[in-house]
Amino acid sequence: MILITGGAGQLATEFQRFFKKNSIDFLAPNRLELDITDFDKVKDYILKNDVGLVINCAAYNLVDKAEEEKDSAYMINAYAVHNLAKICREKRIEFVTYSTDFVFDGNKGNEYAEEDEINPISVYGRSKALGERLALEENRRTFIFRVSWVFGEEGKNFIEQVKTWANTKESIKIAIDQISSPTSTKDIVEITWKILNLRDRDYGIYHISGAGEISRYEQGKYILERLGYKGNILEGRCLDFTSYDIRPKYSKLSSKKIEGILGIKIPNWRSRVDEYLKVDS
Ligand SMILES: NC(=O)c1ccc[n+]([C@@H]2O[C@H](COP(=O)([O-])OP(=O)(O)OC[C@H]3O[C@@H](n4cnc5c(N)ncnc54)[C@H](OP(=O)(O)O)[C@@H]3O)[C@@H](O)[C@H]2O)c1
């Protein structure tokens, strides 16, 4: 049995669609049904349901709020991840979890590879970085997939935010000083599953990121044009929207390692955004 934690999230929902389509059994409890910070309950749940693989999609993702809710961020993104890795080690099963481009400081100037030094500049980034380290130290059969700007159907994501603005605002300002790449949950799920099905598995850290790189402004403008928005689209800066200067300015993840191993090319973010918006490319 496969356990997907954080069952109501956008990546977890995509996994459920994929497993249903492929007739693969899974359990996907939401936060109320299985809170990953309840260490004993998580252990009981995994043992009782004879779980053979854990895919951790639960996370504390509120980047700004994490600055004030440090304990929650660390508990969910680091200590609960450590606990899951430990239970998986004891049960001799593989553990999959997800991390973020926010483990980097954004100063490199070109694509980040898996072996680049991390230097998170936010509580969120530090909590995810600690989760990575604790999981890898605890269980050598751990896969960590770092992803960026995730979007999936019915998710709480930037595209949905832009759609709401398009319906309610005559003028929209979007940050130009944050560059990375939008990544579809479809690609994350398919690639995770391919890696898990390789005969020779090389555990550790992998980057998965939609091809191309853009600023939030360019991404927003592209979405608004696709939606036929007629208002003004203005260039802003991250600090116009938050008082926390904690987002890496440039955090494009290189997917070369995973593309090389699987012999694939991850689609450009534009085609995935078009698919999401159900418009023709
Ligand atoms: N979204 C992004 O842009 C982004 C960027 C980089 C990396 N990532 C990483 O990608 C992975 C998937 O993210 P996502 O976009 O699918 O996130 P998401 O949609 O925010 O889903 C996360 C889920 O985890 C649940 N959760 C939070 N605390 C929990 C707990 N203690 N126990 C059980 N469930 C809990 C949340 O429930 P509630 O909503 O009820 O709290 C939510 O349903 C995460 O590791 C995330 O850090 C995401």
Question: Does 98 sit in the ligand 1 pocket, CB within 6 Å?
Answer: yes
Residue 165 placed within a domain: no
Residue nearest to atom 17 of ligand 1 (CA): 9
Residue 234 placed within a domain: no
Interhelix angle 80-91/123-138, rounded to 10 degrees, is 10
> Quick count: other Cβ atoms within 10 Å of Cβ 14?
25
Residue 78 placed within a domain: yes
Q: Positive or negative CA dihedral for 192, 196, 198, 200?
A: positive
Residue 166 placed within a domain: no
Query: How many domains, the chain?
Result: 1
Ligand 1 atom index nearest CA of 37: 31
Residue 83 placed within a domain: yes
**Looking at the predicted structure, is the pLDDT value of residue 154 above 80?**
no
Residue 280 placed within a domain: no
> Quick count: other Cβ atoms within 10 Å of Cβ 19?
18
Tokens (6 digits) for 208: 């998965």
Residue 23 placed within a domain: yes
**What CATH code is carried by the domain that includes residue 259?**
3.40.50.720
Residue 171 placed within a domain: no
Domain that holds residue 129: 2-156+182-213+250-268
How many whole angstroms from 131 Cα to the centroid of ligand 1?
14
Cβ(222)–Cβ(75) below 8 Å: no
47-61, pLDDT tens digit by residue? 999 999 999 999 999
195-238, pLDDT tens digit by residue? 999 999 999 999 999 999 999 999 999 999 999 999 999 999 99
Question: Does 149 sit in the ligand 1 pocket, CB within 6 Å?
Answer: yes
Distance of alpha carbon 208 from alpha carbon 100, whole angstroms: 10
